């Protein structure tokens, strides 16, 4: 057996009999997967009175010492994420532990967002390097200036929306890379610099747009000048864009753009610039197929 210590995180308080049974089940599942489980709430609770706040705090603290040598934390989500579990998960996140999920497919949005934020953090740095690498290939004056600007903003840690898709730290970065992959697939013969710029930068309008709240994010728009057109203006402050890139980024919301109903602007944009339609569709594919939830921006 490969000796991998694994901390088992599941609820205890509330329906104690049910929760103990669940902790036993998770412990068994961990052993069967070749792990060495540590499940403090199965035995510390037998020695201390969990209903006594002081003893409960002591028990939690002792249990958390056992988290330190563990390589991973297994989160049992069948009955939701309890307050005690949140505390353990936050500690595991700070210690850089690997996450393993059991029965987490039916969590509510708040618990899911929390878990995504806690578990995705470690690979955000890799995504950031991929993003910088892709943009560095672009031969255009101002690219380095633009990258310096992005570094000074919350672009790499911002969410992609308040709750619909990518609603966690790093969601915007992940979404931008997903749109890039989708767009390259859609337009394999197009100019790679243009595809890179359009996909990776289409949503820079979301920089400093979201504010963290207790249970997620809310809008806090400081520069209300539209969506796609705001991205265009922000990019132009650092780097020139071609007419095709301007049109595609400006209209990337397609029919969801509030300008779309007025006159023939959107159909003209799609007629003159097929990339605008491709970018819109790549944006939708990334949102719906790669990131699961709706297109509200």
Which residues make up the interface to Fe ion (CB under 5 A)?
203, 283, 297
Least Å from the CB of residue 177 to Fe ion: 11
Q: Which is nearer to Fe ion, 120 or 230 (CB)?
A: 230
Least Å from the CB of residue 103 to Fe ion: 31
Q: Which residue has the tokens 């618990």?
A: 111
Q: What angle do CA 261, 262, 266 make, to 5 degrees?
A: 70
Quote the CA–CA distance of 295 and 297 in Å, as a whole number.
Answer: 6
Quote the CA–CA distance of 211 and 164 in Å, as a whole number.
Answer: 15
Cβ atoms within 10 Å of 258's Cβ, excluding its own: 9
Quote the CA–CA distance of 252 and 227 in Å, as a whole number.
Answer: 9
Least Å from the CB of residue 175 to Fe ion: 6
Least Å from the CB of residue 227 to Fe ion: 6
CB-based contact 231:201 (threshold 8 Å): yes
CB-based contact 140:67 (threshold 8 Å): no
Least Å from the CB of residue 90 to Fe ion: 29
Residues present in the chain in total: 297
Q: Which is nearer to Fe ion, 39 or 231 (CB)?
A: 231
Q: Which is nearer to Fe ion, 118 or 172 (CB)?
A: 172
Q: Which is nearer to Fe ion, 116 or 182 (CB)?
A: 182
Q: Which is nearer to Fe ion, 64 or 184 (CB)?
A: 184
């Amino acid at each position: 057996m490969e000796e991998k210590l694994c901390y088992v995180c599941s609820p205890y308080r509330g329906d104690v009999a049910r929760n103990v049974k669940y902790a036993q089940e998770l412990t068994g599942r961990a052993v069967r997967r070749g792990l060495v489980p540590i499940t403090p709430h199965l035995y510390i609770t037998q020695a201390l009175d969990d209903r006594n706040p002081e003893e409960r705090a002591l028990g939690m603290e002792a249990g958390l010492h056992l988290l330190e040598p563990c390589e991973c934390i297994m989160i049992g989500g069948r009955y939701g994420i309890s307050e005690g579990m949140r505390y353990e998960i936050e500690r595991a996140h700070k210690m850089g532990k690997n996450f393993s999920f059991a029965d987490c497919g039916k969590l509510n949005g708040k618990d899911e967002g929390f878990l995504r934020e806690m578990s995705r953090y470690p690979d955000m740095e890799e995504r950031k390097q991929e993003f910088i690498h892709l943009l560095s290939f672009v031969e255009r004056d101002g690219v380095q200036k633009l990258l310096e600007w992005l570094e000074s903003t919350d672009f790499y840690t911002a969410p992609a929306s308040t709750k619909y898709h990518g609603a966690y730290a790093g969601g915007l970065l992940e979404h931008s890379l997903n749109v890039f992959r989708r767009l390259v697939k859609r337009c394999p013969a197009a100019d790679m610099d243009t595809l890179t710029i359009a996909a990776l930068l289409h949503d820079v309008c979301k920089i400093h747009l979201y504010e963290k709240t207790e249970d997620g994010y809310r809008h806090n728009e400081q520069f209300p000048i539209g969506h796609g057109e705001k991205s265009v203006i922000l990019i132009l402050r650092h780097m020139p864009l071609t007419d095709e890139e301007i049109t595609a980024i400006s209209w990337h919301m397609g029919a969801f753009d509030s300008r779309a109903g007025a006159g023939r602007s959107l159909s003209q944009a799609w007629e003159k610039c097929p990339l605008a339609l491709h970018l819109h569709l790549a944006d939708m594919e990334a949102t719906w197929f790669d990131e699961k939830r709706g297109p509200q921006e």
